[in-house]
């Protein structure tokens, strides 16, 4: 297919044969060894419908032991594999490039335990994020992360991509919240790092290697994670700003004025909000009077209904008086709050309705962050739609460029320019989506040669036959290596 044309299939990998199928059927339940074309087609296609592999086999293990047997076999047979969670990744990391065996964690979705004193949840990697959150809410807790893909993405996929999302500004990174992991290595070894302690300084903290390693070092099978208390008062406001400088002023003001109750600070430019409003059914602009250039969604989460609401109202009034905000609305009920969120979270869905969508996910110094959107608009000179939005509170810009179809012509106008620009600001070419297949060979824009070399050593040590998620992330530089 077109996107793999730049990388050849590594001929060192074996081709699947009928003995392999028989082996998998002897280890897994028969219905968990899937060769059905329709189901394979789903597993071969990524969320953006941009990356399409040609795997002939989807395996659905039910427990860690089965994952271990699959990997141990694939390793000895030199069969390449792709770990797959909810398949919502946006960089082509979760689908095969060629005929890699897809190992889906979907059948490993059990909640194992919840420590209700400390809020520590332990579960299998295939649990869907939204299901975990619903389970926790009943117990008085919430997940420390939330994202638009919550209905499909799995905690194992979140950990493997080190997903950021909408609550990051409040609860921070999965590197802080994940307390333990169980991981199966390429040769089938089960690595038990499933601690449930807040503090543990005994030796290297190996779990961090697997957080964000995009299936290149092992398959995550269990996760234990710190979950914050569910607080009773949640408020959401949508504010309009006239320029990008005002958005920055608003961020500073929110951190000071809303302080401990601030739980989200998301921004979108008018192009992004208009796109969402165009494509999402039954949603209208909550600020119909304003034709502002920027919109900011602020959420507060706290323990005191009346105080929190009063604080947010005073904040809105103050920022309006100061001229930082031109217009604003506080959601009056849950339905309105969910509409505000639907607009922000719906941008991804809306952007793929335009045809082709080139997605960039950059970390940049906040004062520089919108500059690249404006520059890109000038550069593309009306030949594509350019939208900017994202997690402003974390310095994370999402820049989407949409055209009717993918063409080399447009791509050469975007890349490598966008990566060079980001690198020049000492930004990151992936704030939260990862490198996947899309950026497999772009890591040097954000990491030093020495760091990449050391990563390569880890890769070779943990997956010496390079069976795990080849052609992606760190595996890419090695795909031409001779496999021993
Ligand atoms: P997949 O897409 O299946 O896999 C992602 C990567 O992880 C692949 O490389 C795969 O091989 C690997 N992997 C998956 N499971 C395992 C496992 N158990 N062990 C080892 N490797 C594994 N991301 C953000 O960070 N923030 C956002 O706000 C955000 N919003 C999104 C909104 C939408 C609508 C969509 C479609 C995506 C969004 N994403 C966001 C992208 C994000 O990366 C994923 O949604 C999520 O973290 C991936 O989880 P998944 O289970 O779908 O993993
Ligand atoms: C988001 O924040 O909406 C996402 O990371 C997904 C996207 O950019 O499409
Ligand atoms: Zn995001």
**Tens of pLDDT along 286-324?**
998 778 899 999 999 999 999 999 999 999 999 999 999
Assess if residue 461 is contained within a domain: no
Tell me whether residue 451 is in a domain. Answer: no
For the chain, the first-to-last Cα distance in angstroms comes to 28
How many structural domains is the chain composed of?
A: 4
With a cut of 90, say whether residue 481 has pLDDT above it.
Answer: no
Question: How much distance in Å is there from the Cα of 17 to the middle of ligand 3?
Answer: 40
439 has pLDDT over 80: yes
- Does a structural domain hold residue 466? no
β-pairing, 101-104 with 327-330? unpaired
The phi and psi torsions of 480 (rounded to 5 degrees) equal -90, -10
270 exposure class (CB count in 10 Å sphere: 0-12, 13-18, 19+): middle
Shared domain for 21 and 93, answered yes or no, is yes
Same domain, yes or no, for 102 and 117?
no
Cα(63) to ligand 2 centroid in Å equals 31
Ligand 1: residue whose CA is nearest its atom 24 = 163
Tell me which residues have their CB closer than 6 angstroms to ligand 2. Answer: 90, 148, 347-348, 390, 398
For ligand 1, whether the C-beta of 431 sits within 6 Å is no
Q: Is residue 55 located within the same domain as residue 141?
A: no
Residue 422 maps to which CATH number?
Answer: 3.30.70.2740
What pLDDT is attached to residue 131?
A: 99
Can you give the pLDDT at residue 5?
54
Residue among 62, 94, 185, 353 whose CB has most ligand 1 atoms within 8 A, to mutate: 94
pLDDT digits (tens, 9 = 90+) for 155-172: 999 999 999 999 999 999
Contact by Cβ (8 Å): 120, 179: yes
Give the closest ligand to the alpha carbon of residue 347.
2
| pLDDT confidence tier of residue 473, bands split at 50, 70 and 90 | confident
CATH of the domain at 173: 3.30.465.10
Distance 250 CA to ligand 3 centre (A): 20
Q: Would 470 be classed as within a structural domain?
A: no
Judgement on whether residues 242 and 220 belong to the same structural domain of the protein: no
Distance 457 CA to ligand 2 centre (A): 32
Residue whose CB lies within 8 A of the most ligand 1 atoms, among 87, 90, 157, 363, for a mutation test: 157
pLDDT for residue 291: 82
Structural domain harbouring 174: 111-226
Give domain status of residue 141, yes or no.
Answer: yes
Q: Give Cα 203 distance to the centre of its chain.
A: 29
Boundary residue ending a domain (331, 347, 363): 347
Which residue's alpha carbon is at the smallest distance from atom 2 of ligand 2? 390
* 128 plus 176 within the same structural domain: yes
Q: Are 399 and 387 in contact (CB under 8 A)?
A: yes
Written in H, E and C, the secondary structure of 30-44 is: HHHEECCHHHHHHHH
User: How remote is the CA of residue 431 from the centroid of ligand 3, in Å?
Assistant: 8
- Between 108 and 3, where is the model more confident? 108
Residue 93 CA, closest ligand 1 atom number: 9
């Amino acid at each position: 297919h077109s996107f793999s044309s730049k990388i050849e299939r590594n001929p060192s990998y074996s081709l699947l044969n009928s003995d392999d199928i028989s082996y998998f059927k002897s280890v897994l339940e028969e219905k968990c060894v899937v060769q059905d074309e329709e189901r394979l087609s789903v597993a071969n296609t990524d969320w953006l419908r941009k990356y399409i592999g040609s795997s002939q086999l989807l395996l659905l293990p039910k427990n860690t032991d089965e994952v271990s047997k699959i990997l141990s076999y694939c390793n000895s047979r030199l069969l390449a594999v792709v770990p797959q969670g909810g398949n919502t990744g946006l960089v082509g990391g979760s689908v095969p490039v060629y005929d890699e065996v897809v190992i889906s964690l979907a059948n490993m979705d059990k909640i194992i335990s919840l420590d209700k004193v400390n809020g520590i949840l332990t579960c299998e990697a295939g649990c869907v994020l939204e299901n975990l959150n619903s389970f926790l809410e009943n117990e008085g807790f919430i997940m420390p992360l939330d994202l638009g893909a919550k209905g499909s993405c799995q905690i194992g996929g979140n950990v493997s991509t080190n997903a950021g999302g909408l609550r990051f500004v409040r609860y921070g990174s999965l590197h802080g919240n994940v307390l333990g992991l169980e991981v199966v290595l390429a040769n089938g070894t089960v690595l038990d790092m499933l601690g449930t302690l807040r503090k543990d300084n005994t030796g290297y903290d190996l779990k961090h290697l697997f957080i964000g390693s995009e299936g290149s070092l092992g398959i995550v099978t269990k996760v234990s994670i710190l979950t914050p208390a569910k607080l009773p008062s949640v408020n959401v406001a949508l504010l309009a700003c006239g320029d990008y400088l005002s958005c920055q002023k608003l961020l500073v003001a929110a951190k000071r004025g809303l302080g401990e109750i601030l739980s989200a600070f998301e921004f979108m430019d008018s192009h992004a909000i208009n796109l969402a409003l165009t494509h999402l059914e039954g949603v209208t602009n909550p600020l119909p009077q304003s034709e502002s250039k920027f919109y900011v969604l602020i959420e507060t989460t706290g323990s005191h209904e009346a105080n929190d609401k009063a604080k947010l109202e005073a904040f809105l009034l103050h920022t309006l008086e100061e001229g930082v905000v031109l217009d604003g609305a506080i959601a009056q009920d849950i339905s309105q709050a969910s509409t505000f969120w639907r607009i922000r979270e719906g941008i991804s869905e809306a952007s793929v309705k335009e045809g082709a969508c080139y997605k960039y996910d950059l970390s940049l110094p906040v004062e520089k962050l919108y500059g690249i959107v404006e520059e890109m608009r000038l550069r593309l000179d009306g030949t594509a739609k350019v939208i900017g939005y994202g997690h402003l509170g974390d310095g994370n810009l999402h820049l989407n460029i949409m055209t009717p179809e993918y063409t080399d012509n447009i791509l050469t106008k975007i890349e490598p320019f966008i990566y060079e620009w980001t690198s020049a600001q000492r930004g990151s070419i992936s704030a939260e989506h990862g490198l996947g297949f899309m950026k497999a060979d772009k890591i040097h824009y954000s990491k030093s040669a020495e760091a990449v070399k050391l990563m390569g050593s880890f890769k070779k040590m943990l997956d010496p036959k390079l069976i795990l998620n080849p052609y992606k992330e760190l595996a890419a530089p090695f795909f031409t290596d001779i496999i021993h």
